Amino acid sequence: MSTVTAIAGDNSALAFDVERIRQDFPILKQQVYGKPLVYLDSGASAQKPQAVIDAMTAGMDTYYANVHRGVHAMSQRSTEAYEEARTKIASFLNARSTNEIVFTRNATEGINLVANSYGRTFLQAGDEIIISHMEHHANIVPWQLLRDNLGIVLRVVPVDDDGNLDMAAYADMLGPKTKLVGMTHVSNSLGTIVAIKDVIRMAHDAGAVVLVDGCQAVPHTAVDVQDLDADFYVFAPHKLYGPTGVGVLYGKEDILNDMPPWQGGGDMIMSVSFDKTTYQKAPLRFEAGTPPIVEAIGLGAAIDYVSAIGMENIAAHEEGLLHYATDRLSRIEGLRIIGQAQEKAAIVSFVLDCAHPHDIGTIVDRGGVAIRTGHHCAQPVMDRYGVAATARASFGLYNTRDEVDVLADAIDAVREMFA
Amino acid sequence: MFDDLRDLYQEVILDHGKNPRNFRRPDAFTAEAVGNNPMCGDALVVYLSVDDNATITDVSFQGQGCAISVASASMMTELLKGCPVDRADEIYQAFHNICTGEGTPEDILAEFDEEIAERLHMLSGVREFPMRVKCATLAWHTMDAAVRGEQEISTE
């Protein structure tokens, strides 16, 4: 479990060399409409380094089989690789044990798992769940489904005009009825970094458990679930330079083992008869059916990759990009940045006075620049700031200041056309 | 800087996008429908007045969207005002086929008079931008829904 940490430590002295890092990502050599690809949509999904691609290919080329089944050599090796990935994740998040790491199909499924298993078991009519106004739909809708099913109350912590969470309002909302807090660590639409450790401490003081949506946090900063004291923490491996098709749910072991299975099937049972079936402990209890084996192996490689570079180095690089992009884009006439919280990750959402985000997206795309446009699965955020949609540039470890300049020039072209 | 974008963003389209025609909620109408594009959050309402002879006597819209969706809605209202419902459906089908690439615009538009053909041809640039087809067709789907008595549609 300590191997990864050791590698990261050994390499932390290396200077952050973005040009060398870019060589690791084959897709960055692509051209779009005859122009170099400028990929500023890592917040939606990040690109994959060769190491991840190779690890997944090698898994299928040399030792692929189903896991936790069969005594043959391939199954054994696949199982070892799959469980090794779990070990890497546990180390990466500083979990106490690999038993606290559940593989899901995506981060959304992790939240739905907690809503259905924990929620339906431990919540009842009249109980309250608190979320924030800047949640992704994935951290809103599962709780609404639970509300409609159980008759619980869903309360929403407001955000201020800059996108900061209203901690005073949150403190007021917490009370004896609060049973669960579902909160984003970093807002996908505003870039706000929430003071999640405070959020968790305050919730615990009120006797509530906390699920953290870490999808936008894990790729950008080191996360220590023990230090945060999070009860549940989900993240999306495909945003961490890993593959799609796999998600991660961290849960405290004692809580997970108090929760009933959510889905039934193979691999999650101890024994099955028609009269009575007994279940595995966590995490296998929550991994019914054949899991995303190759994807888990790819995620393990992604964690090795970012750990070798060092999350603190990645965070520092991206913070530099954020400041540069904020400054550069702010100087464009008619451009308004949505989300200017005090603590921000490398996500810049913006609108132009002369053009709709969709038109911005189409036009900059012809300049080779990939950005996200739309409501970012966060429609309440759009409503809060009085916009139907935004354009969003989100940065990853492979982005450069030159690419920010390309974006800024492309936005100038939009203004030429529409202003 | 990006010349091929001019096929999509022609001056007429930019003008309709900035200054949409028939952009209003009328005092009286016989049918309305809401159109949603869940991918981008755009939403608009189309209002229709259809008389006893099944002719569209008035058509207008409100809502917000990108230049393409607003311009398409604006141009649609101009084309369909005074049009029999059956003919409106033919124009709708033709426009839909143009956008989704079912045949060449020239072939599809051959049977229409010059004004209609010219307008629809202007919007045909969206064929080269598959991600934007739903923007261009949103108002038309919504109009079609209003004619058929449906109250809300989604382009997904």
Q: State the CATH class of domain B5-148.
A: alpha beta
CB contact under 8 A, B41 and A359: no
Shortest Cα distance from A10 to chain B (angstroms)? 45
Nearest to B135 among A355, A358, A382 (CB): A358
Return the closest-CA partner of residue A16 out of A301, A222, A218, A316: A316
- Which residue ranges make up each domain of chain B? 5-148
Q: Which of residues 16-45 of A touch B (CB under 8 A)?
A: 33
- Mean pLDDT for A137-158 is 98
CB contact under 8 A, A356 and B41: no
Q: What is the pLDDT of residue A367?
A: 94
What kind of fold does domain A3-49+310-418 have according to CATH? Aspartate Aminotransferase, domain 1 (3.90.1150)
Nearest to A413 among B1, B4, B69 (CB): B1
Nearest to B42 among A355, A363, A388 (CB): A388
Q: What is the pLDDT of residue B15?
A: 95
- Segment B12-71, tens digit of pLDDT: 999 999 999 999 999 999 999 999 987 777 889 999 999 999 999 999 999 989 999 999
DSSP H helix total and E strand total for chain A: 16, 17
Residue A20 pLDDT grade (very low, low, confident, very high; cuts 50, 70, 90) = very high
Amino acid at A113: L
Residue A15 pLDDT grade (very low, low, confident, very high; cuts 50, 70, 90) = low
B134 close to B15: Cβ distance less than 8 angstroms = no
Q: Which residues of B fall below an 8 Å CB-CB distance to A?
A: 1-2, 4-5, 8-9, 14, 18, 39-43, 64-69, 129, 131-132, 135
Cα–Cα distance for residue pair A252/A355, rounded to 1 Å: 47
Residue A184 scores a pLDDT above 70: yes
CB contact under 8 A, A373 and B40: yes
User: Which residues in chain B touch residue A369, judged by CB atoms under 8 angstroms apart?
Assistant: none
Q: What is the pLDDT of residue A3?
A: 37
Q: Which of residues 344-403 of A touch B (CB under 8 A)?
A: 355-359, 362-363, 366-367, 373-375, 379, 382, 388-389
Backbone angles phi, psi at B39, to 5 degrees: -65, -40
Residue A14 scores a pLDDT above 70: no
Q: What is the pLDDT of residue B1?
A: 57
Cα–Cα distance for residue pair A212/A234, rounded to 1 Å: 6
Amino acid at A10: D
CB contact under 8 A, A388 and B65: yes
Pick left, alpha or beta for residue B150 (phi over 0 → left; psi -120 to 50 → alpha; otherwise beta): beta
**For B110-147, b where at least 16 C-beta lie within 10 A, e where not — what string?**
eebeeebbebbebbbbbbebeebbbbbbbbbbbbbbbb
- Segment A187-211, tens digit of pLDDT: 999 999 999 999 999 999 999 999 9
**Cβ-Cβ contacts under 8 Å for A330 (sequence gap 6 or more):** A337
Q: Which of A377, A380, A413, A418 is catalytic?
A: A377
- Segment B62-109, tens digit of pLDDT: 998 999 999 999 999 999 999 999 999 999 999 999 998 888 888 999
Cα–Cα distance for residue pair A58/A45, rounded to 1 Å: 23
Residue B144 three-state SS: helix
Average pLDDT, chain A: 94
Shortest Cα distance from A354 to chain B (angstroms)? 9
- Segment A62-97, tens digit of pLDDT: 999 999 987 899 999 999 999 999 999 999 999 999
CB contact under 8 A, A388 and B41: yes
Amino acid at B5: L
Q: Which residues on neighbouring strands pair with residue B60, listed in sequence order?
A: B47
pTM of the model: 0.92
CB contact under 8 A, A374 and B39: yes
- Which residue ranges make up each domain of chain A? 3-49+310-418, 55-307
CATH number of A55-307: 3.40.640.10
Higher pLDDT, A173 or B115: A173
Higher pLDDT, B122 or A184: A184
Q: What is the pLDDT of residue A8?
A: 41
Shortest Cα distance from A46 to chain B (angstroms)? 20
Residue of B nearest to A391 (CA): B40
Average pLDDT, chain B: 91
Nearest to B64 among A33, A388, A416 (CB): A388
Pick left, alpha or beta for residue A94 (phi over 0 → left; psi -120 to 50 → alpha; otherwise beta): left
Task: Tell me which of B7, B19, B37, B40 to substitute to probe the interface with A (most A C-beta atoms closer than 10 Å).
Answer: B40
Query: Is position A354 annotated as part of the catalytic site?
Result: no
Residue A350 three-state SS: strand
Q: The complex's ipTM? A: 0.86
- Segment A126-146, tens digit of pLDDT: 999 999 999 999 999 999 999
First CA to last CA distance, chain B: 32
A102-111, A119-128, A262-271: the lowest-pLDDT one: A262-271
CB contact under 8 A, B40 and A357: yes
CB contact under 8 A, A359 and B66: yes
Residue A11 scores a pLDDT above 80: no
Could you identify the residue written with the tokens 């189309």? B46
Residue of A nearest to B66 (CA): A356
Hey, which bits of A143-245 come out as E strands?
A: 153-157, 178-184, 209-213, 232-235
User: Which residues in chain A touch residue B19, judged by CB atoms under 8 angstroms apart?
Assistant: none
User: Which residues in chain A touch residue B67, judged by CB atoms under 8 angstroms apart?
Assistant: 355-356, 359, 418
